[in-house]
Amino acid sequence: MNREELEAEVMDLLQHSELRMTPQRRAIVRRILTIPGHFSADDLVTALDQTQEEASRATVYRLIPVLIELGILREVEHGYDHSHYEVVRDPGHHEHLICQRCGEVIEFVCPAIEEAIVEVCQEHNFRQYQHGLEVTGLCEQCQQEADDQHLSAS
Amino acid sequence: MNREELEAEVMDLLQHSELRMTPQRRAIVRRILTIPGHFSADDLVTALDQTQEEASRATVYRLIPVLIELGILREVEHGYDHSHYEVVRDPGHHEHLICQRCGEVIEFVCPAIEEAIVEVCQEHNFRQYQHGLEVTGLCEQCQQEADDQHLSAS
DNA sequence: CACCACCTGAGACTCAATCTCATCTGGTAT
DNA sequence: ATACCAGATGAGATTGAGTCTCAGGTGGTG
């Protein structure tokens, strides 16, 4: 799905919810869809400030939970900083490997994990909305660097 | 492993790192090990304040990342509030089902997921330190209540 | 085209988390 | 024992992400 189609779909979703379409909300959605990776709420505020598009911090912060509720955004916790979000682009939910040292985020998909989660939810009669798996550790390069550092220190 | 053994092991870990053993650090570790479930940094500060044990907020906040680094604590994100932590008690790492409505946290273990993660890490030459899987949605009771509400609203 | 429930923005506010810096101390070397 | 100092501490100031307030604005329906 390309950006235009996605934007149309999202706008449609908003229109058919009980929400009003306002220039601010359109601007926020448009901006979100042009951000390639993860972003924080404040990144959004800053990005909107820099262009002529108008949407205040309060409005941005108010819209984010709504977009999560609608399944358009998903919260991604990096664990070190404040909240980050990403656009849900189905199909293919992905999980994250996060390097503790350099902060690199490697995305991967794993059907086996998806299936296992569905089974667990059935066992517990839990209705899954979203899930997020984050594996923290060291990426290939940082393993090398960390090991070198450790050797020279001892 | 009971609490005394765990405490001894943790103290040993601290002693053999480059860290100094201070009364404050001992107090914090002892307190952490007596908390049954998840806790926030501020819960810890409050708990220490209430007893005669002494450790300032700054000291608590300074020690938490160290304990995570040592693998003694793990960060658990509830996503709605500030950071929460839990003691790593091996074997049997568990994942979390989190109810968006009432906040209940259901823990579960799933060897299939653990295995899948190990495989993915091997594929990416990633050295795993920790992982956390959080599934958000509705618990059994809240599904019922949310559905009832939805019906009466329409 | 009038109406009003919903939306917005500026800025005050909250409070978890971090920083500062003067003082203290664990643990090693002497 | 004891002197020494890198590392640790605490009280309080500071930061900053996120929330709240409230007066005024507006989308969209009847």
Which residues, including other chains, have CB under 8 Å from residue B70's CB and lie 6 or more apart? B13, B14, B17
How many angstroms separate the CA atoms of A127 and B136, rounded?
8
Query: What count of other Cβ atoms lies within 10 Å of the Cβ of residue A64?
Result: 19
Residue B139: closest CA among A115, A128, A119: A128
* A17: chain B residues, CB-CB within 8 Å: none
* B140: chain A residues, CB-CB within 8 Å: 124-126
Residue B132: closest CA among A62, A5, A106, A76: A76
Q: Digits of tens for pLDDT over chain A (154 positions)?
A: 566 777 777 887 877 777 888 999 999 998 998 887 788 898 899 888 777 677 899 999 999 989 888 878 887 765 555 778 888 776 457 788 887 667 778 888 888 999 999 999 999 999 887 788 888 888 888 787 766 554 444 3
Distance in angstroms: CA B134, C1' C11: 36
pLDDT digits 0-9 by tens, B124-136:
999 887 788 888 8
A9 DSSP assignment: H
Residue A125: closest CA among B146, B137, B95: B137
Residue nearest to nucleotide D19 (CA to C1'): A58
How many angstroms separate the CA atoms of A6 and A88, rounded?
10
On whether any CB of chain A is under 8 Å from the CB of B105, the answer is: no
Domains and CATH numbers, chain B: 1-89 (1.10.10.10), 91-154 (3.30.1490.190)
DSSP characters over A75-90: EE--SSSS-EEEE--S
* A120: chain B residues, CB-CB within 8 Å: 95, 97, 108, 110, 135
Coil, helix or strand for A100? coil
How many angstroms separate the CA atoms of A30 and A44, rounded?
11
pLDDT digits 0-9 by tens, B108-153:
988 899 999 999 999 999 988 778 888 888 888 888 776 665 444 4
Mean pLDDT across B92-100: 78
Whether B137 sits inside 8 A of A121 (CB atoms) is yes
DSSP characters over B117-130: HHHHHHHTT-EEEE
Chain centroid to CA A34? 13
